[in-house]
Structure 1
């Protein structure tokens, strides 16, 4: 089967379970910290539960500041799903204003998935929060979401579990297709280099080496020392391309690309989805876009394209 047709089948499968019949409209109100979390919650909650997202699409989840509409939404919410492990520094303000009836759920901290640690930057040695960038990590989020919603709304537990199993089946298929699409990239080219340490879980899942200038976008970006260290590494490794993210100015990666004569590719979507007409309009599309970008930039095999 043509690999691109296979991708389309996967995305259609995902769309099918998203649009499955839902219960009657409900007054239950859920908050997701950013768009990727919202997408995963919707896959379990269905259309009968209202979901509000704090950080808009395209904004940096690390550097967001709560707005009055955010505060009002929190006051009316039943559950807040956020990532945790320091991804959302502003969550401490949300916790301070939360009522006793509000349930706060840190998905990465509660997920049954091996945690990697940041290897550079101000938070070196701390848990890497970007767990969703491996489909298996996203599936672990689905389990936490399902347990939380089922406990809060037991009358809908069967529907939640059904949607969750469909979502996890689709993620398993997506995982296999990512493996197949990336397997033709030569071993000598399998280095992902970007500004923030946001693809460690993806790199670990699919057999890539990973390098970043800093750990999290919430810290000081691109010090002279960090830029010099990365420049030295690139001179030694010489990967086919460097990458930049959609939510981070590309000034640092562009400077490194110019200095080393390497190609700059992107954007990669990590901490946000794209708009509906963009390449990362939902979670499966985000992984698909990441995979295709790496395939093209790092020299994937051309057969069956």
Structure 2
């Protein structure tokens, strides 16, 4: 017997006691694993498809544990869009629940976009899952989303494809805007240092030297050895600022910043959007916020200059 079976059965039993009306109001057809994926799926699906998201905005996608409402959503869904490459360790439970009619689509693993590797930590050398941090990677996700939705809902394929064209054009414009905004940062200051190694694609796309304390957020955070390695790097490199992420405890970067006498800036957004009132309320806003924060903290030229 699958060792996960008792866990799945328990969640299903708990779910049966949740008021059915909570799920009857909308017909849940498509699931996104977390808010960034949700935003990209909505850009193709529009109002034609009901979408629910497993990991709420602000929560850590790496360390999430499925809830009874998540289980009910999976039971009703046609498609689950998730990132893959190990970003969502809990997806194995969704796979265990999946029936023959459920499509599980790992966007990063299916995208026509060359993966980078994780540079540090327990998962060093594995594919870096954070492809969406480059708009070109997000555009590759759009292609997979469009194809998957069109195959599953062929009567809406024309609408999906039309929206996909608009989404790709918007992403190309976003890429250009981010590039132009970051060009003002002096070459000597283009050193990006974060807690989790989630900005590799962003750094590669926009010309930053990049380093992080650990690899994926699912591993041990800020071990003594990792902190020592980063401390020695900061002695040599002396970047203008260090950065922490919205879903990561800032204590590790704070300790390093104090030790090295460097500025600490953040939060950067990567594994989640903010709420609707926050600075990263959708995917373009997330990248623009990150670019502005880098521009300010790393000494970018002012508009009047």
Asked whether the two chains share a fold, i.e. TM above 0.5, the reply is yes
Q: Which residue of 2 aligns with 1:18?
A: none
Alignment of 1:260-279 (within 5 A): 260-279=260-279
Native 8 Å contact 2:28 2:73 kept in 1: no
Residue of structure 2 equivalent to 1:200? 200
Q: Give the Cα separation in 2 of the matches to 1:261 and 1:167.
A: 42
The corresponding residue for 2:294 is 294
Return 5+ residue gaps in structure 1 as ranges: 1-25
- How far is 1:182 from its partner? 0.4
Shift of 1:303: 2.7
Task: Give 1:11's aligned residue.
Answer: none
SS in 1 for 2:301: coil
User: 2: distance between equivalents of 1:144 and 1:222?
Assistant: 35
Task: Please provide the CA RMSD for this pair.
Answer: 1.2
- Matched ranges for 1:71-110 at <5 A: 71-110=71-110
2:161 counterpart residue number:
161
TM superposition shift of 1:81:
0.1
Q: Does 1:133 align with 2:112?
A: no
CA distance in 1 between counterparts of 2:109 and 2:304 reads 40
Q: Does the 8 A contact of 2:178 with 2:291 survive in 1?
A: yes
Q: Structure 2: give runs of 5+ residues left out of the alignment.
A: 1-25
Q: Indicate if the aligned counterparts of 2:273 and 2:286 stay in contact, CA closer than 8 A.
A: yes
Post-superposition Cα deviations, 1:61-86, rounded to whole Å, max 9, x if no partner, equal: 00000011100100000000000000
- 1:21-170 equivalences in 2 (<5 Å): 27=27, 29-170=29-170
CA distance in 2, matches of 1:217, 1:54: 17
Indicate the SS of the match to 1:52.
strand
Residues in 1 aligned to 2:168 and 2:177: alpha-carbon distance in whole angstroms: 14
- 2:190 paired residue number: 190
User: Which TM-score applies when normalising by structure 1?
Assistant: 0.91
Give the aligned partner of residue 212 of structure 1. Answer: 212
In 2, Cα distance between equivalents of 1:215 and 1:143: 27
Task: State the distance in 1 between where 2:233 and 2:143 align.
Answer: 39
**2: distance between equivalents of 1:81 and 1:63?**
18
Question: How many residues of Structure 1 are paired with residues of Structure 2 in the alignment?
Answer: 281
